[in-house]
């Protein structure tokens, strides 16, 4: 019958009171645990987002630099062209429903940077179909080294989203077909093929019926090098896998232009012309000449793309600064709320133990009359407080393991990175409910905090108990 | 000549009540020998409980000396008194003061825990003590499952746990009815006769006091009178009134014809 046993029996002796106190303390502790978990999730999300954006920008920049002489020519996307080929291909990230808003983080565009940050940042490889034969005169412009017709088609599933009473059908892109003319004069001299082959081989001259998939495509179709893959009902042999090289190719699979045109039933149709200038000094004059010859074309040079990238970077920095400000606010709020929760927990322990000591004055007097030292009495009451707090801590962890996302959502300001009107569109918000998790370290800290708070809260009541006069045992009501 | 277990010299105790000093005890001199059973009687406010508190090291006197088993407890600092309480004193309270969340054996074990007795030894001794107070088979019962008389027996067993030099009983029969009252006094008297336990009992009950060896009357903080109880007579087999020899089972003194069983006289 040690002091621990007596402390435990004293707690269990008044079950309803102990249960109520434990529930109150448990919720207080659950909040105390959930807040740092939420704040930490926000921090991690912000870091991860920063990392992703930085990687994208640096890969894109390096890719742009490699294509200094490249000029993208495409038709400006227009709504008239929606549903160009409704049979099996869509040339735009938009479905048939016009005037919708779209979330580029989910719906990668046909051009630009598909995948996470689509939205046509570099609308070079356009999404609007154009008749290749109408632009054959570009090749005769002075200082044009080559003209490469490209056909790009996004494939995916249509999703209907309702918002404010209206329905929008959006194409959720699963893969992007890119048809490239496989002439040795073009593929040997100009950067039009994927550059980062991670398995198998790249496309080569006169290849037909073969594809090079991206790693994402490989996972999506569940095939590897040497396997057959069925695309839009036709079987292709997978000859290679490419890793992302930074530009718009996370979900892009490459095949010959003629295969792509046949596959999508679009003979003679392309979505962009990649014009290569003889050298980087004449890029600007060539672009001007193209613009003069075909004013309907959107002409984008590497310089334009770099400028666009710079804008994107600036916008990204602003968004990140906003996010950082909100994160700082979150941390301040988190600290304030934790202080309140800690104080509440200590106060609950303090008042409960004070009440207990007062209620048990005679018992304490008896123990002292029997020969208990002040220290033993103090230890017993402190142990009771710690035990109470520890039991509540365990329940608090159990509650937090389920309700931490809810608590952190309710108690912390929402943090999102918003860069409106930028190529980002809206970047994903930071900590979502699902990302708030309790780490083992946090659980250990919570248990430690429960012990410390229990000890702190019961310190004064235990000291009061130890100072009880033993003669109290002789008082009879 | 018996060895003194308690010696009080010129003991005084006063309290401050606001601006007024209250003299609870003054000039008390008393010697209690080993194996004696002394009752202290007196009206309310006469200082009985104060005296018991001082003797039990629950309170410190303001003057005089109190030697308990050779140690002057009046000169000991407050923080040392618990050591005397745990080893030399056993308390029996009017309201039993058992811990409600412990069973009978665990209640008896508590004082032994204070002096570091090992668990097995504690349990064994507690069982033995409960047996000696006729509570064999009730060891696992918690106080609420015991009658008032049984609870007081557990309290007496607890008081004996550390073989104290002296048992201090504060109105041990105060919360008991007739039969239980007699049983508890008888139990204390038997402990005194058979084991030589020194007992000082504060009581209002003259019948209970009469069963002790010596009766002290306290009035206004002083011992105003002292007389022999029936127990002394029993021990010595002498009539307390005329001093002539009596037999243990006799109810009246064959010489002076006075009753030997009951002390009707009130102070």
Q: How far is B79 from chain A (nearest CA, A)?
A: 8
Q: How confident is the model at residue A120 (pLDDT cuts 50, 70, 90)?
A: very low
Q: What is the mean pLDDT of residues A224-236?
A: 92
Query: Which pLDDT score, from 0 to 100, does residue A78 have?
Result: 43
Nearest CA in chain B to A14: B101
Q: How confident is the model at residue B44 (pLDDT cuts 50, 70, 90)?
A: confident
Q: What is the mean pLDDT of residues A125-146?
A: 81
Query: Which pLDDT score, from 0 to 100, does residue A248 have?
Result: 63
Residue A105 CB neighbours (<10 A): 17
Q: Please report, rounded to a whole number, the percentage of residues in chain B having pLDDT higher than 90.
A: 45
**Distance of alpha carbon B61 from its chain centroid, rounded?**
19
Report the alpha-carbon distance of residue B102 to residue A17 in Å, rounded: 19
- The answer to whether B109 contacts A1, with C-beta atoms less than 8 Å apart, is yes
Q: How confident is the model at residue A430 (pLDDT cuts 50, 70, 90)?
A: very low
The reply to whether B64 falls in a domain is no
pLDDT tens digits along A67-109: 788 888 888 654 333 333 333 333 333 333 332 323 333 333 3
- Using the Cβ of A471 and the Cβ atoms of chain B, whether some distance falls under 8 Å is answered with yes
Query: Which pLDDT score, from 0 to 100, does residue B55 have?
Result: 92
Q: How confident is the model at residue B106 (pLDDT cuts 50, 70, 90)?
A: very high
Q: How confident is the model at residue A427 (pLDDT cuts 50, 70, 90)?
A: very low
Q: Please report, rounded to a whole number, the percentage of residues in chain A having pLDDT higher than 90.
A: 20
The reply to whether B9 falls in a domain is no
3-state secondary structure of B81: helix
Q: Which of B58, B87, B109 sits opposite A470 (nearest CB)?
A: B58
The reply to whether B67 falls in a domain is no
Q: What is the mean pLDDT of residues B17-36?
A: 89
Query: Which pLDDT score, from 0 to 100, does residue A413 have?
Result: 72
Look up the CATH number of the domain holding residue B194.
Answer: 3.40.50.300
Query: Which pLDDT score, from 0 to 100, does residue A235 have?
Result: 93
Between these two residues, A364 and A422, which has the higher pLDDT value?
Answer: A364
Q: What is the mean pLDDT of residues B136-157?
A: 93
- The answer to whether B85 contacts A6, with C-beta atoms less than 8 Å apart, is no
Most confident of A155-169, A304-318, A360-374: A360-374
Q: To the nearest whole number, what is the mean pLDDT of chain A?
A: 78
pLDDT at B266 over 70: no
- Using the Cβ of B96 and the Cβ atoms of chain A, whether some distance falls under 8 Å is answered with no
Q: Which chain B residues have a beta carbon less than 8 Å from that of A4?
A: none
pLDDT at B165 over 90: no
Closest CA to B122 of A1, A380, A372, A5: A1
Report the alpha-carbon distance of residue A404 to residue B181 in Å, rounded: 62
- Using the Cβ of B82 and the Cβ atoms of chain A, whether some distance falls under 8 Å is answered with yes
- Using the Cβ of A131 and the Cβ atoms of chain B, whether some distance falls under 8 Å is answered with no
Most confident of A35-44, A273-282, A363-372: A363-372
Q: How far is B85 from chain A (nearest CA, A)?
A: 5
Q: How confident is the model at residue A470 (pLDDT cuts 50, 70, 90)?
A: confident
- The answer to whether A368 contacts B85, with C-beta atoms less than 8 Å apart, is yes
Between these two residues, A133 and A1, which has the higher pLDDT value?
Answer: A133
CB B59 within 8 A of CB B220: no
Q: How confident is the model at residue A459 (pLDDT cuts 50, 70, 90)?
A: very high
Most confident of A148-152, A299-303, A329-333: A148-152
pLDDT at A335 over 60: yes
pLDDT tens digits along B66-90: 999 888 998 888 878 899 999 899 9
Taken as a whole, chain B contains a residue count of: 267
Pick the range with the lowest mean pLDDT from A34-48, B113-127, B236-250.
Answer: B236-250
Establish, for the pair of chains A and B, how many residue pairs have beta carbons separated by less than 8 Å. 76
Query: Which pLDDT score, from 0 to 100, does residue B248 have?
Result: 61
Q: Which chain B residues have a beta carbon less than 8 Å from that of A362?
A: 97
Structural domain harbouring B96:
30-57+77-235
Query: Which pLDDT score, from 0 to 100, does residue A279 have?
Result: 83
The reply to whether B22 falls in a domain is no
Q: How confident is the model at residue B236 (pLDDT cuts 50, 70, 90)?
A: low
Q: Which chain A residues have a beta carbon less than 8 Å from that of B97?
A: 362-363, 366, 369, 473
Q: How far is B261 from chain A (nearest CA, A)?
A: 31
How do beta strands B71-72 and A166-180 pair? unpaired
Query: Which pLDDT score, from 0 to 100, does residue B64 have?
Result: 92
Q: Which of B86, B87, B95 sits opposite A476 (nearest CB)?
A: B95
Q: How far is A471 from chain B (nearest CA, A)?
A: 5
Q: What is the mean pLDDT of residues A391-403?
A: 90
Q: To the nearest whole number, what is the mean pLDDT of chain B?
A: 87
Query: Which pLDDT score, from 0 to 100, does residue A164 have?
Result: 56
The reply to whether B186 falls in a domain is yes
Query: Which pLDDT score, from 0 to 100, does residue A69 have?
Result: 84
The secondary structure of A421-468 as a DSSP string is TSTT-BPPPS--GGG----HHHHHHHHHHHHHHHHHHHHHHHHHHHT-
Q: Which of A363, A374, A471 sits opposite B59 (nearest CB)?
A: A471
pLDDT at A111 over 70: no
Which bin fits B41, alpha (ψ -120 to 50), beta or left (φ > 0)? beta
Q: What is the mean pLDDT of residues A311-337?
A: 82
pLDDT at A199 over 50: yes
Q: How far is A374 from chain B (nearest CA, A)?
A: 8
Query: Which pLDDT score, from 0 to 100, does residue A246 have?
Result: 56
The reply to whether B89 falls in a domain is yes
Nearest CA in chain A to B51: A471
The dihedral built from the CA positions of residue B59, B62, B67 and B73, taken in this order, carries a sign that is: positive
Query: Which pLDDT score, from 0 to 100, does residue A92 have?
Result: 34
How do beta strands A228-231 and A210-214 pair? unpaired
The reply to whether B68 falls in a domain is no
Mutate which of B76, B96, B101 to disrupt the A interface (most A C-beta within 10 Å)?
B101
Taken as a whole, chain A contains a residue count of: 477
- The answer to whether B93 contacts A366, with C-beta atoms less than 8 Å apart, is yes
Q: What is the mean pLDDT of residues B147-157?
A: 93
pLDDT tens digits along A146-197: 889 999 888 888 777 665 566 767 777 888 899 999 988 888 888 888 888 8
3-state secondary structure of B174: coil
Structural domain count, chain B: 1
- Using the Cβ of A164 and the Cβ atoms of chain B, whether some distance falls under 8 Å is answered with no
pLDDT at B172 over 50: yes
pLDDT at A434 over 70: no
Tokens representing residue B72 in the block:
């002057």
- Using the Cβ of B97 and the Cβ atoms of chain A, whether some distance falls under 8 Å is answered with yes
The reply to whether B21 falls in a domain is no
Q: What angle do CA A118, A124, A130 make, to 5 degrees?
A: 110
Query: Which pLDDT score, from 0 to 100, does residue B10 have?
Result: 93
Mutate which of B15, B53, B82, B107 to disrupt the A interface (most A C-beta within 10 Å)?
B82
Write the DSSP symbol of residue A92. Answer: S
pLDDT at B157 over 90: yes
**Distance of alpha carbon B69 from its chain centroid, rounded?**
15
The secondary structure of B229-243 as a DSSP string is -HHHHHHHTB-TTT-
């Amino acid at each position: 019958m040690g002091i621990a046993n007596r402390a435990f029996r004293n707690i269990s002796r008044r079950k309803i009171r102990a249960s109520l106190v434990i529930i109150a303390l448990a919720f207080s502790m659950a909040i105390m645990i959930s807040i740092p978990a939420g704040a930490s999730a926000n921090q991690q999300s912000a870091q991860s987002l920063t990392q992703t954006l930085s990687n994208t920008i640096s890969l894109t920049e390096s890719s742009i630099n490699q294509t200094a002489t490249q000029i993208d020519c495409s038709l400006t996307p227009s709504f008239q062209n929606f549903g160009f080929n409704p049979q099996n291909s869509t040339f735009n990230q938009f479905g048939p429903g016009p005037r919708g808003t779209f979330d580029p983080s989910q719906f990668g565009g046909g051009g630009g940077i598909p995948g996470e940050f689509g939205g046509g940042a570099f609308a070079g490889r356009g999404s609007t179909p154009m008749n290749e034969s109408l632009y054959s005169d570009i090749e005769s412009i002075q200082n044009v080294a080559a003209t490469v017709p490209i056909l790009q088609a996004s494939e995916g599933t249509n999703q209907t989203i309702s918002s404010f009473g209206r329905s929008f059908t959006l194409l959720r892109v699963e893969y992007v077909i890119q048809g490239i003319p496989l002439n040795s004069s073009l593929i040997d001299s100009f950067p039009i093929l994927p550059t980062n082959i991670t398995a198998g081989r790249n496309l080569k001259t006169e290849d037909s019926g073969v594809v090079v998939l991206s790693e994402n495509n490989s996972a999506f179709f569940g095939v590897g090098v040497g396997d057959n893959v069925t695309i839009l009902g036709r079987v292709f042999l997978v000859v290679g896998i490419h890793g992302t090289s930074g530009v718009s190719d996370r979900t892009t699979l490459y095949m010959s232009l003629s295969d792509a045109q046949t596959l999508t039933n679009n003979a003679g149709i392309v979505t962009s012309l990649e014009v290569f200038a003889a050298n980087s000094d004449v890029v600007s004059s060539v672009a001007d000449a193209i613009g003069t010859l075909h004013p309907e074309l959107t002409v984008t040079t590497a310089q334009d793309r770099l400028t666009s990238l710079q804008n994107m970077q600036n916008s990204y920095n602003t968004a990140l600064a906003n996010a950082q400000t909100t994160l700082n606010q979150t941390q301040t709020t988190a600290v304030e709320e934790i202080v309140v929760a800690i104080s509440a927990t200590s106060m609950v322990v303090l008042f409960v133990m004070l009440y207990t000591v007062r209620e048990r004055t005679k018992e304490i007097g008896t123990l002292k009359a029997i020969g208990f030292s002040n220290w033993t009495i103090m230890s017993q009451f402190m142990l009771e407080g710690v035990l109470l707090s520890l039991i509540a801590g365990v329940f608090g962890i159990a509650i937090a393991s389920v309700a931490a996302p809810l608590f952190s959502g309710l108690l912390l300001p929402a943090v999102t990175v918003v860069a409106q009107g930028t190529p980002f569109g809206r970047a994903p918000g930071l900590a979502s409910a699902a990302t708030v998790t309790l780490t083992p370290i946090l659980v250990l800290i919570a248990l430690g905090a429960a012990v410390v708070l229990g000890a702190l809260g019961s310190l004064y009541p235990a000291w009061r108990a130890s100072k009880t006069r033993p003669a109290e045992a002789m008082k009879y009501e | 000549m018996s060895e003194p277990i308690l010696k009080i010299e010129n003991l005084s105790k006063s309290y401050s009540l606001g601006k007024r000093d209250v003299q609870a005890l003054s000039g008390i001199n008393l010697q209690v020998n080993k194996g004696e059973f002394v009752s202290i009687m007196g009206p309310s406010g006469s200082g009985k409980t104060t005296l018991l508190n001082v003797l039990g090291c629950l309170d410190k006197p303001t003057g005089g000396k109190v030697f308990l088993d050779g140690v002057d407890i009046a000169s000991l600092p407050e923080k040392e008194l618990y050591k005397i309480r745990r080893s030399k004193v056993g308390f029996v309270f009017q309201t039993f003061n058992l811990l409600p969340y412990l069973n009978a054996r665990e209640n008896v074990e508590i004082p032994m825990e204070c002096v570091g007795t090992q668990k097995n030894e504690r349990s064994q001794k507690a069982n033995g003590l409960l047996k000696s107070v006729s509570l064999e088979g009730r060891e696992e019962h918690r106080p609420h499952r015991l009658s008032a008389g049984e609870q007081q027996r557990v309290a007496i067993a607890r008081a004996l746990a550390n073989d104290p030099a002296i048992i201090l009983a504060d109105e041990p029969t105060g919360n008991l009815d007739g039969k239980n009252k007699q049983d508890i006094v008888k139990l204390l008297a038997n402990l005194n006769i058979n084991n030589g336990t020194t007992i000082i009992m504060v009581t209002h009950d003259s019948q209970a006091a009469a069963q002790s060896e010596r009766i002290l009357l306290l009035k206004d903080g002083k011992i105003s009178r002292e007389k022999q109880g029936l127990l002394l007579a029993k021990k010595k087999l002498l009539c307390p009134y005329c001093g002539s020899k009596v037999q243990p089972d006799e109810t009246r003194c064959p010489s002076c014809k006075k009753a030997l069983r009951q002390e009707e006289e009130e102070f």
